[in-house]
Amino acid sequence: MTPPTLPVPAGRPDRRSDDELLVLAGQGDVDAFAELIERHQGPVYRYCWRIFRNHHTAEDLTQELFVKLFRHAARYEPAGHFTTYMYRILTNLCFDLLRRRKRRKTTETAQLDPLLSEGTELEPVASDADFDAALRRNEAKDVVRGAIEALPSEVRKAVELREIEGLAYREIAEVLSLSVNEVKVLLHRGRKLLTRTLARTPVGREFGLGPGGL
């Protein structure tokens, strides 16, 4: 069977597309799949970490995603939408696990974001002059994260994909198997709920959020 011909991105003749890499992986090219992992493991890990706030869970889900991608690579039909395909699988993995944990009524201890922790190679320890400002920023982040986590599941999916991952409405619609209008409704509802929740907090009032919402 002749492999499909995939377009090379303009201006980057040496860079293979994500679609091409996954097709090659489906033909047994381990190096191509390693390149795909290198490109996407950072964003995938961060997406999982923001949802679960746990390093080990994020690592496990990241690994599970790429295992699924490799297992199904031979059946992948390239259409220039690898990222949408990836996020569909990733979103299902994350929210399926959330549902299972809620049913068991278990909780995990939140951990510090390894990308934001003080004293790492990525970020030096803050000086005394910066400490108060950093504390206020972290407090605001925690309040916003808590508000997002409290959203209904489908609303949260849409908000995470739009506001955190930056996906377009059409891409979110494909990831969630919804129409673009349904995505807009979910996002509108999510923003209203977030505004209403944040308006009751000191952080929200500091930013001038009123009880009326957006």
Give the pLDDT confidence of 102-113 residue by residue, as tens digits: 877 544 444 445
CA 121 remoteness from chain centre: 24
pLDDT in tens, 16-56: 999 999 999 999 999 999 999 999 999 999 999 989 989 99
pTM over cut 0.75: no
One domain, residues 48 and 148: no
Q: Domain total for the chain?
A: 2
Quick: pLDDT tens for 151-172. 999 999 999 999 889 899 999 9
pLDDT of residue 105: 58
Contact 179, 173 (CB under 8 A): yes
- Are 102 and 33 within one domain? yes
Whether residues 77 and 147 share a domain: the answer is no
Distance of alpha carbon 131 from alpha carbon 126, whole angstroms? 6
Instruction: Tell me the per-residue pLDDT of 188-203, one tens digit each, with 9 for 90 and over.
Output: 999 999 888 888 877 6
DSSP secondary structure string for all residues of 70-104 = HHTGGG---SS-HHHHHHHHHHHHHHHHHHHHHHH
Report whether pLDDT(212) > 90.
Answer: no
Q: Are residues 105 and 145 in the same domain?
A: no
Residue bearing the bigger pLDDT, 43 or 127: 43
Same-domain pairing of 98 and 169? no
For 188, the domain range is 137-214
Q: Is residue 119, in this structure, part of any structural domain at all?
A: no
Residue 8 lies in a domain: yes
Q: What is the DSSP letter of 69?
A: H
In this structure, the answer to whether residues 107 and 3 fall within a common structural domain is yes
